[in-house]
Amino acid sequence: MQRRRIAVAAAVVAAAGAAVAFTLPSMAGTTPSSTTAKPKAGGVSPQILAAMKRDLGLDGDQATARLQRAKWASAVSARLSAQTGADFGGAWLATDGNTLKIAVTDPAAEKAVRAAGAEPVLVERSEQALVTAKEKVDAVRSEASGVSGWYVDVKTNKLVVVAKPGKVSTAKRLARTAGVAGDAVSVVTSSATPKPLFDVRGADPYFIRVDGGTARCSIGFSVEGGFVTAGHCGGVGATTTGFNQQAQGTVRASTFPGDADMGFVEVNGEWDPRPVVNDFEGNELPVAGNTEAPVGAAVCRSGSTTGTFCGTILAKNQTVVYPEGPVTGLTRTDVCAEGGDSGGPWLSGDQAQGLTSGGSGDCTVGGETFFQPVNEILAAEDLTLVTSGGGAAQPPAEDAQPPAESAGACADQAVQRDGTLPRARTAQAQPDGAAFRSNAGVQTACLTAAEGADFDLFLQRLTDRGFRTVASDTGAGDKELTFNGRSGTYRYVVVATSGAGAYNLGFSTP
């Protein structure tokens, strides 16, 4: 199957006349819902609002405002991450769900944060320094006995290691072994033991043949040609059947454990990928896009075992130690889930967020659940999310974004940088000789150079072997670059192939 690039803004219309409607499966012996929830003002379905009222205590206006604020905060955070580069310390929404806080390591960056409508917080360590510390622990994860996970906590500006009861010294030793400074680490204890949320039993929707048995999971989101789900639900080549026990598809991509918990199932011609999520109350919730929500944002999930529940995003890029092995890059929430919910979708309003991975507790006593960011698999497998259309919410007037820093030919890009290369065979890294963090998704850039000069543009991603070029535009004339990639640390490099003079670089991040 030929896969196309992510198309976030464009609406993808499901093919008419398919024999079976593709949606999150209902319980065994039932048929999928045929009622599509109609969004209220602000683009939020009444079922999501009802779930947020039940789980978060927010009325309709409060819930809508919080979701719109999260969309705005996501865009502002991405832009400031690129603008402040190595000074960026992370972003999160305060407990009021309204105040966006941006951590920076340089007081000079506070002005840009305030101009964007956010509240600056001066910290000691940059987000990249904390991510580097986490990656050091990831490298020794085979020695993580007695530890259930670790993650970057931008609010405390530390790497948090989660130890099992009585294992605090083990957690500290793990950090020391990894070479992480003690003052950059905080150890918390938890008796929770995260596990993947699948049941090896029948009689529930979407079944996968696993090790001679049958596992049950939940469909995540429709993509062109199939759907995405959790990687632990089945390995490459496994076949699936749907809620109606009919042949459904084949697993074409699967990662678990390790760098992710994500999978892609290619469906046969009897299944029609549609931009909806079943809430198990007789409604289909619309999926309009995949703008990633920040830490502190409200989020809801649906699953074939427990239905729809809501809560808050607590942390991102967490490494979780499952019995099968550690998994990196997960998002931690305070939402409950149970076996069979694995692979199910997470929404912030009508924006796709992720796929249920695992957790602890249940929906009777509560618990915590981790999800795999959906944008990671869209980028890694070059998949197109099927959507109903709809862009990000507009920020309130008082939070209007400041004008671009440059009026160059690339001024339509969110971040602007000007520079000068004094002679051929010289180069500069942007922003400002540093790097920036980017969410998964499409990055775009534009470069114009002085008359008579030929400058080339390279986008590089930080790996364990240093920066590596992932996209470039070379040759004569102005340069344009588009890259669909995973989350990580990036930088642009402008190289003078011939000539010298000033240039204007504009770029945008997802």
Stretch 249-263: mean pLDDT = 96
> CB–CB of 311/333 below 8 Å?
yes
Which amino acid, 495? V
Q: What type of residue sits at position 53? A: K
Q: Could you report the per-residue pLDDT of 312-352, keeping only the tens digit for each?
A: 999 999 999 999 999 999 999 999 999 889 999 999 999 99
Per-residue model confidence as pLDDT tens digits over 453-497 = 999 999 999 887 778 899 999 988 899 999 998 888 899 999 999
More confident residue, 365 or 40: 365
CATH topology of domain 134-189: GMP Synthetase; Chain A, domain 3 (3.30.300)
**pLDDT tens column, 393-413:** 344 434 434 434 444 568 889
pLDDT of residue 35: 57
Active-site residue identified among 261, 272, 341, 350: 261
pLDDT of residue 421: 93
Q: What is the pLDDT of residue 238?
A: 94
Q: Are 233 and 198 in contact (CB under 8 A)?
A: yes
Catalytic residue, from 33, 55, 87, 232: name it.
232
Average pLDDT over residues 126-137: 93
Q: Please count the other Cβ atoms lying within 10 Å of the Cβ belonging to residue 482.
A: 12
**Whether 106 is catalytic:** no
Please give the CATH topology (third level) of the domain spanning 66-122: GMP Synthetase; Chain A, domain 3 (3.30.300)
pLDDT for 150 equals 96
pLDDT tier for residue 90 given thresholds of 50, 70 and 90: very high
> Comparing 455 with 33, which gets the higher pLDDT?
455
pLDDT of residue 395: 42
Residues 355, 347 contacting (CB under 8 angstroms): no
Report, as an integer, the average pLDDT of 157-170. Answer: 95
d(CA 383, CA 392): 20
Q: Which two tokens stand for residue 364?
A: 């009777």
Contact 177, 300 (CB under 8 A): no
On the question of pLDDT at 33 being above 70, the answer is: no
SS3 letters across 349-373? CCEEEEEEEEEEEECCCEEEEEEEE
Decide whether 20-57+194-380 matches 134-189 in CATH topology.
no
Of 96-105, 237-246, 386-395, 402-411, least confident by mean pLDDT is 402-411
Helix (H) or strand (E) segment spanning residue 74: helix 60-84
CA 507 centroid distance within chain: 20
Question: What's 199's DSSP letter?
Answer: B
Domain boundaries, the chain: 20-57+194-380, 66-122, 134-189, 403-508
82 has pLDDT over 70: yes
| Domain boundaries 403-508, CATH class | mainly beta
% of the chain residues with pLDDT over 70: 86
C-alpha 394/C-alpha 292 separation (Å) is 15
Non-local CB neighbours of 116 within 8 Å, separated by 6+ positions: 76, 79, 80, 102, 399, 401, 402
In the residue annotation, 473 being an active-site residue is answered as: no
Q: In the predicted model, is pLDDT for residue 173 greater than 60?
A: yes
**Backbone phi, psi, residue 56, to 5°:** -115, -5
- Give the type of residue at 32: P
Q: Which two tokens stand for residue 16?
A: 């008419």
pTM: 0.79
Do residues 182 and 169 make contact, with C-beta atoms less than 8 angstroms apart? no
**Where does residue 425 fall: left (phi above 0), alpha (psi -120 to 50 degrees), or beta otherwise?**
left
Q: Is 498 a catalytic residue?
A: no
Task: Kindly calculate the radius of gyration of the chain based on its CA atoms and give it in whole angstroms.
Answer: 23
Mean of the per-residue pLDDT values of the chain: 85
Catalytically annotated residue among 74, 126, 342, 357: 342
Q: Which of 108, 316, 341, 125 is nearest to 217 (CA)?
A: 341
CATH of domain 20-57+194-380: 2.40.10.10
DSSP symbols for 26-55: -STT------BPPP-TTS--HHHHHHHHHH
- What digits encode the pLDDT tens for the residues 183-207? 999 999 999 888 886 543 332 478 8
